[in-house]
């Protein structure tokens, strides 16, 4: 059994697990987080399995994820007021699903520094 067989986000991409999908293109998919940390909290994932930012080697894919985050923020109406993008890499950073993903958070004032 491969990592993609059991990976939660790969299973969402394959539509084996339900999710509220809000955006999609040929390379990435975005869906609402099931435990939102802000009024708007979405996850942007590559359609192919990449375990974390440490495993990423495709600069074009990384750029596409960030451009998707911007487009999603615009679509959600949070681009002008502000939004945060977060990529947790590794357990100590809080990564719990080991499939690269970009959090898009907004809809409220955020403080710095985070956690």
By annotation, the residues acting in catalysis are: 101
How many residues belong to the chain? 115
Cβ atoms 23, 64 nearer than 8 A: no
Would you list the DSSP string of 4-45?
HHH-HHHHHHTTSS---EEEE-SSEEEEE-SS-SSSEEEEEE
Tokens of 68: 């998707």
| CA–CA dist 101, 29 (Å, integer) | 10
């Amino acid at each position: 059994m491969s990592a993609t067989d059991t990976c939660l986000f790969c299973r969402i991409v394959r539509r084996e697990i339900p999710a509220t999908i809000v955006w999609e293109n040929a390379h990435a998919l975005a869906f609402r987080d099931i435990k939102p940390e802000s009024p708007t909290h979405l996850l942007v994932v590559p359609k192919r399995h990449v375990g974390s930012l440490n495993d990423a080697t495709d600069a074009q894919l990384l750029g596409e994820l960030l451009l998707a985050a911007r487009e999603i923020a615009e679509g959600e109406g949070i681009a002008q007021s502000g939004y945060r993008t977060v990529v947790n890499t590794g357990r100590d950073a809080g990564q719990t699903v080991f499939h690269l993903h970009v959090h898009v958070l907004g809809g409220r004032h955020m403080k710095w520094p985070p956690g």
